[in-house]
Amino acid sequence: MSLSIVHSRAQIGVDAPAVTVEVHLANGLPSLTMVGLPEAAVKESKDRVRSAIINSGLQFPARRITLNLAPADLPKDGGRFDLAIALGILSASVQVPTLTLDDVECLGELALSGAVRAVRGVLPAALAARKAGRSLMVPRANAEEACLASGLKVIAVDHLLEAVAHFNGHTPVEPYVSNGLLYASKPYPDLNEVQGQLSAKRALLIAAAGAHNLLFSGPPGTGKTLLASRLPGLLPPLAENEALEVAAIQSVSSCVPLSHWPQRPFRQPHHSASGPALVGGGSKPQPGEITLAHHGVLFLDELPEFDRKVLEVLREPLESGHIVISRAKDRVRFPARFQLVAAMNPCCCTGNMAGLRDRRYMHLHGHHKR
C-alpha cells in the first residue's frame, strides 16, 4: 500500500492537539515533500528520518514521497514527529503493517543512528491519547512521565528498530510499568526551622488556611524570605487533577524530565523580571512565572523594586486564575491560579527606619543626643 496514516500530537501551550501524519509514495524522481505548515525543526526531520532509516538497516524508498501533517492550519514545531514520520514511510513502503498503527500515537525525536530521543510536552499528549482511547509510543526517557496518565498503555522504545519489531510482531514491547520514582516527593522546608517571629508565623498560617495573599514588611535580615519559602509546606496536598496540571506545565516548559511529583511549586522571580517573563509570551507563547506557580506560591521579594507596569499585569490573573496570550497566529490560554506572597523593606521615611536615619545623621555630623 502506498498510503499510510500515523497518529501523533502537537504542542500548543499546555494542550496537545491531534496531528495525523499522512505519507504517500508515488512514481517519479526520488524526492521528499513536506506540507502542513511545518516549521524549521520539522522540515529538517526529513534528513534525520532518512539517515535513521538507512542506519537502522531498513530500506528508504527511492520514490516520490509526500508528507502531510494534518490539520494544515495548525503550526507544528520540534522533532516530536520524527518517529511518526519514519513509521509512516516504512508503512507506506510495506515494511510495517498499516493496521498495527491505527490504535497507537507516536512521539519521539530520532538521532541519525536511529536512537529515539526524549521530547518535551509528553504528559499533555499522554492525557489526550488516553482520552482518545489510544496507546502511546514514547522514548524510554519519557515513559515514566507518560505513566502519570493512569490507565494509559505506554510503549517505551530506545531505537527505531524496537518500534519496527513491535509493529511487525517479531519482538512485541511489553507495556511500560512505572517504577514510582516520580512519587518520591522531597520534603518542603519546615516552619519549625524559623525561630521567633510568632506574629509573622501566625499570619503565614492564616494565609495558608484561607488561601490569602500576603505581604511581609520588615527590615532586612528579619526572615521574610525564609518565612515565605515555608508556605508551600503548609498548604494541603495537591489533588490528582491539580497535580497533573502542575506536571503538564512543567512538562511543556522544560526539557528536563519530571521529578518529585506531586509537588507545589514555589517561584521567586528577580525584581528585574519583565512583564512577559511574569505572565508569559514570545513569538511562540510560552508560560511565564505565574503559570509556573500554578497551584503554588509566587514570591516577589523586594516588591517596590519591581516596575509598576510589571505589577499591573498581575491584576487579571489574580482575579480570573488564568492568562490569555494573544499573538498574530496564536491565542494560547495558560492556567495561573497561584498564591501571591510579597516582601518589602519599610520606607526610610517611616517607622523605625526614620529614627535609624536620624541617628546615623547625628553620628556623622558629630551630634550626640543627651
Mean pLDDT for the chain overall: 89
Query: Alpha-carbon distance 120 to 131, whole Å?
Result: 20
pLDDT in tens, 240-262: 899 999 999 988 987 555 666 77
Three cell numbers written together for 258: 519530571
Q: Find out whether 123 and 149 touch, Cβ atoms under 8 Å.
A: yes
Rounded to two decimals, the pTM is: 0.86
> What pLDDT shows up at residue 349?
61
Task: Name the band, by pLDDT with cuts 50, 70 and 90, for residue 17.
Answer: very high
* Structural domains of the chain sorted by starting position, each given as residue range(s) with its CATH number in brackets: 3-179 (3.30.230.10), 191-344 (3.40.50.300)
130 phi-psi bin (left φ>0, alpha ψ -120 to 50, beta other): alpha
pLDDT, one tens digit per residue, over 101-132 is 999 999 999 999 999 999 999 999 999 999 99
Give the integer Cα–Cα distance in Å for 73 and 357: 63
- Does position 7 have pLDDT exceeding 70, yes or no? yes
- Give the CA-trace dihedral at 86, 88, 93, 97, to 10 degrees: 110
pLDDT tens sequence across 49-88: 999 999 999 999 999 999 999 999 888 989 999 999 999 9
Residue 8 has pLDDT above 90, yes or no: yes
pLDDT tens for each residue of 251-306 = 898 755 566 677 899 999 999 999 999 999 887 888 999 999 999 999 999 999 99
Q: 171-219: per-residue pLDDT in tens?
A: 999 999 988 766 656 788 889 888 888 999 999 999 999 999 999 999 9
SS3 311: helix
